[in-house]
Amino acid sequence: MTRFSIIAGRSLLCRIVFGSLTCCAVVLPGLAQGPAKTLLVGVDRRSVTSLNGDWHYLVDQPPAKGLYTAAGKVRDNGYGLNTHPNINSGPHNEEYDFATAPTLKVPGDWNTQDPTLFRYEGVVWYERDFDFQPVPNTRAYLHIGAANYKSFVWVNQKRICDHEGGFTPFDCEVTSALKPGANFVVIAVDSTREVDGIPSVGIDWFNYGGLTRDVSLVTLPTRFIDDYDIHLKHESTFSSSNANTLAGYVHVEGAAEGTAVTLRIPEAGVNTTLKTDADGRASFEVKAANLQLWSPETPKLYKVELVSGDDRLADDIGFRDIRVDGTRILLNGKSIFLQGANAHAEAPYRTGRACTDEDVKNIFAFLKDLNANFVRLAHYPHDERMERTADREGIMVWSEIPLWQHISFEKPEVYAKATYMLNEMIRRDRNKASVIFWSVSNETPNNPARTQFLTNLANEARRLDPTRLVTSALIGPHVKGNEAVQDDPLADALDVVGQNEYIGWYERRPEDADNVKWTLPNKPILISEFGAEAKQGVHGGIDQRWAEEQQVNVYEHQFVMINKIPQVRGLVPWVLMDFRSPTRNIPKLQDGFNRKGLISEDGKKKQAFFLFQKTYKERSVGKE
């Protein structure tokens, strides 16, 4: 094979190499066999036909008989055909009509658009009509930025592709299904949580369903650039005086061996012609002139131009080096301390899934006001707009796949799904300088099956991208006396260890943190979650639960403890902004929101926000 591809309904249990594929396939439950899919890189840098806007929708109430047969197979004779059955003479119980159905905005979740669907988890059918004029010698793809959780796509009554995973993009080739003039697409999205899903059934965030990111139609030449990796060459040691070699590859789908690819970076003095190998891949190493490296202080991006035949694509890419040295994290050879926050993809002010330019602008305005240089995008890949903005704004990023707690780590088919999602995340964002960590999990149970699963996944991340660091957020241990010993063997597989702890909220009193002695791995440590809940506007003493003053008190004692841990190289409080969670149901205090935010869901800053703002400005906690 000559591209990153899977068979719909199958995932890969072993290595995926861009240019060749050596693996066995396993069938993902609930997904049918179907045509191969490809994943296009840089779609947001191409001229596309947007299919965002109003889509007609129908709700398929459980057990979703419109989508699934009694045996759980996907029906190809149901709503996907969009047949406009005659409601006066058609068979009873088969009456439906997208043309007269209400509409939902895409991108967006259905939960916050239709009050009757606020807590709905199940299948919703989307339909949109569009015009299309085929162009000779081109191929057309339907690009879906993300849809939670399973998706089934029909175009003009033809089943095109399926996808599992709620937070990464996928592309369905629709060339043969399209016709001149009027066309339609039907997408069934199933947000049902499953025991063997990723994430699984127990999540502490709102399960927003729907077409939650951009949908577009991408028209490409028959031979086109579908993937590229352009980065500063990762040498065994870093020297700023020699940091001028760029390396990577460009892959051209459908290319014969020897196909020319032009790589130009005018500002860096790069203008070279590459040749593809038999798999369509053109690898390179090239010297750049006077390269300015990307950093939070100078987030320099270069215009990178790629041309092959009739296809051309331009991207904005920064170049930097990230590595560890003992317990230090080095960016471009210099020690750094990460001052940031966790963030869910919750839209400020309006709530719902963050998916617009305005949502992202608001989130980064909060981070910049906080004096942050880092953000952990929890607990799943966020909208690509987030990394693009981080690149421009100089905010370093932790990107994570949603392996969180209740995962079936003992099942090979679940590992296959995780490998696939990791590939999707890395493939989409490997050219984003802001992304410095790939995270393989959050708060997983310490047992041999989990450790082997995640160790293998960490090694897969390194194989796919050896230029970045691999991390995970560990949970526990509980404090015994004044001792806390972190002996989770998963730490051995990580470059940087994330430590979640909630002393002063879930255990002990805030002041107990002052005397806790931590034994942690001799690696860079991030305090990747810590904090307490407070309802914005609730005030009282420092020991009054839910008061802003108590939240500050918890953090102040945390700072005393953290300053005694020599390996700590970053602070990542939980969480930047209050976010919806179905498990947080104390009336008048939570009302369905996790209240650990430094900012309320409607954008009001709590006292803890200003504590971190001052701490980060003064750099008074932690050391580089």
* H helix or E strand, kind and range, residue 416: helix 412-429
What per-residue confidence (pLDDT) applies to 18? Answer: 29
pLDDT of residue 63: 87
- Note the pTM of the prediction, 2 decimals: 0.94
The rounded distance, in Å, linking the Cα atoms of 566 and 326 is 12
Class of domain 239-318: mainly beta
Does 501 have pLDDT greater than 60? yes
What is the longest distance spanned by two Cα atoms in the chain? 79
pLDDT band at 23 (very low <50, low <70, confident <90, very high): very low
Q: What residues contact 566, with CB distance under 8 A and at least 6 apart?
A: 327
- DSSP-based helix, strand, coil % in the chain, nearest 5: 20, 35, 50
**Per-residue confidence band for 88, with pLDDT thresholds at 50, 70 and 90:** low
Q: Report the percent of the chain where pLDDT is more than 70.
A: 92
Residue 92 has pLDDT above 70, yes or no: no
Residue range 163-187, pLDDT digits in tens: 999 999 999 999 999 999 999 999 9
pLDDT of 86 over the 90 cut:
no
The answer, yes or no, to whether residue 60 has pLDDT greater than 70, is yes
State how far the Cα of 66 lies from the Cα of 101, in Å rounded to an integer.
16
- pLDDT-derived band at 89 (thresholds 50, 70, 90) equals low
Fold entry, domain 324-618 = TIM Barrel (3.20.20)
Find the mean pLDDT for residues 112-134. 96
Q: Is the pLDDT of residue 1 over 90?
A: no
Average pLDDT, the chain: 92
pLDDT at 26: 36
12-19: list long-range contacts, CB under 8 Å, 24+ apart: 12/416, 12/419, 12/420, 12/423, 13/412, 13/415, 13/416, 13/419, 15/460, 15/463, 16/419, 16/423, 18/227, 18/249, 18/251, 18/281, 19/251, 19/277, 19/279, 19/280, 19/281
The whole-angstrom separation of Cα 365 and Cα 372 is: 10
Q: How far is CA 116 from the centre of its chain?
A: 28
Give the closest residue to 332 by CA, choosing from 394, 258, 389.
Answer: 394
Mind listing the pLDDT tens digit for each residue in 388-424? 999 999 999 999 999 998 899 999 999 999 999 999 9
What pLDDT does residue 94 have? 65
Do β-strands 215-221 and 49-50 pair in parallel, antiparallel, or remain unpaired?
Answer: antiparallel
The SS3 of residue 357 is helix
For residue 122, what are the contacts with CB-CB under 8 A and spacing of at least 6?
59, 60, 61, 62, 64, 190, 191, 192, 209
Q: 31-221, which class in CATH?
A: mainly beta
Q: Could you report the per-residue pLDDT of 464-499, keeping only the tens digit for each? A: 999 999 999 999 899 999 999 999 999 999 999 999
Please provide the size of the chain in residues: 624
pLDDT digit string, tens, across residues 320-352? 999 999 999 999 999 999 999 999 999 999 999
Please check whether the two domains, 31-221 and 324-618, share a CATH topology: no
What's the pLDDT band for 75 if we cut at 50, 70, 90?
very high
Does the pLDDT at position 198 exceed 50?
A: yes
The residue that leads in pLDDT, 568 or 89, is: 568
Q: What is the dihedral of CA 49, 53, 58, 61, to 10 degrees?
A: 100
If one counts every other C-beta atom within 10 angstroms of the C-beta of residue 440, the result is 26
Residue 24: the pLDDT is 34
Main-chain phi, psi angles of 270, to 5 degrees: -105, 125
Question: How do 170-173 and 138-144 pair as beta strands?
Answer: antiparallel
CA distance 610 to 536: 13
With cut-offs at 50, 70 and 90, classify the pLDDT of residue 202: confident
Sketch the domain layout of the chain as residue ranges.
31-221, 239-318, 324-618
